[in-house]
Amino acid sequence: MSGVFLSYSRADRAVAGQIVRGLRALGVEVWWDEDMRGVDWQDELARQIAVLDAVVVLWTHNSVGSMHVKDEARLARDNNKLINVMAGVAKPPFPFDSINGLPLDGWTGRAPHPGWARTVETVEELAVRAGGAGKGGFTAALARRDAEIRAKEAAVAQAQAAFEDAQNRAAEAAEAAAAESATFAHAQEVYRRVVELTAGSGVLRSAQDDLEKARAAKDEADQAERAAKSQLSAASRELSRATAELNKLFSETFDPLAPAPDQDAPPPLAAEPVIAPPPPVAPPTPKVEPPAVTKPAPAPKPDLAADRAPPTAVAKGRIPVLAWVAGGVVVLVALLFFLQGSQPPEPVLSSNAQPANSANAAESATSAPANSGAPSAGPPSAAATAVAAGDSANQAGNSKAAFAAYMQAALLGDAHAQDQVCNFYYNAAGPCR
């Protein structure tokens, strides 16, 4: 066995593992009980102490009371190979405090730490003295490792900044795309209303232009959003890669299950947490474009000529009206005939009345010569002619002809004829008033 042996309390396994990983990263060969399963490491240490370069003892609140740790420290001190490192305590216990302890409080394994640099220098001094390493080998490796850690941390910080910037751009692009989508939806609604109102060609063309401009702006915003999401995905992958490269410097693990400690352990050294890669950004999902709005054909103008029916059609439309009127006249005539047929027979004039009529006739005859010298009254009117015809028909016993003549005179405004028609209709004996 060669290299360095680490002695610690099982309660301080986390801090011990950090020390093992730090030394092995510099090329130091480190042994500890996790590498010797099923072996009595104290006996093995007693046999191999001569060939070991150094024994590093980790002093904590747990190990200062451990007899096993003190035995191993005593063996290392007796062989002038003891290196004291401390975490959480001010100095090593007596009698090992004769050798200065190197404090590791606050060492994370990532950032440069003076106590850790002094530990590496001390390990290198004992290894060079034992012939196990060249001068400056471990310290130069520590400087290179610190520089590499800083470079990878800078790469992670740069990737983190690029990722956050891509997140902001993606959010802005999403907001812009949402706004353009709303504008496009509004333009679609305006265009639909213009079409429904059958507005003029100028208004329709303006709405169509606004719709096309809104569509173009929406397409451009959607394309910008997809590009921003693609950049965000690339930035996320770069951040994950940079973080993995940094964590690879501290990726050495040890997984043996340690037994439960006999006493409560103090808080171990604060190890810097491993930066977890950001969650992968899902690739942008293609957006389903809304269906294109096509300009509908303008509503056809009503054909006024087609609405005008031809003269023959109008005449045909009037035929039922004329037929109805003719039918009404026929019904009226039939009703008149029916009423006339129900009239009582004309009264037979008595012999006493006949002389009166004869006297009236004689009086008319005698008065005629008296009036012969007067001027003529002119031809009788149509109503008087119809009344005379009615009287003649009535005297002749032709009631139908009399009714027709009286009806004609009544329509011409003759009062006597109207009384006669009323008498015929109601069988009235006197004037129908």
pLDDT tens digits for range 400-422: 788 788 788 878 777 777 777 66
Quick one: which of 235, 3, 23 has its CA closest to 120?
A: 23
Higher pLDDT, 216 or 197: 216
Question: What's the average model confidence in pLDDT over 384-393?
Answer: 85
pLDDT of residue 386: 83
- Domain 4-145: CATH superfamily, name plus number: Toll/interleukin-1 receptor homology (TIR) domain (3.40.50.10140)
Average pLDDT, the chain: 74
pLDDT of residue 426: 53
Side by side, the strands of the sheet bearing 54-59 are: 30-31, 4-7, 54-59, 82-86, 101-103
Domain ranges (residues) in the chain: 4-145
Q: What is the pLDDT of residues 98-134, one digit of tens each?
A: 899 999 999 988 888 999 999 999 999 998 888 877 8
Q: What is the pLDDT of residues 165-194, one digit of tens each?
A: 999 999 999 999 999 999 999 999 998 888
* pTM score: 0.49
* Residue 232 binned pLDDT confidence (cut-offs 50, 70, 90): very high
Which of 72-81, 210-219, 224-233, 400-409 has the weakest average pLDDT?
400-409
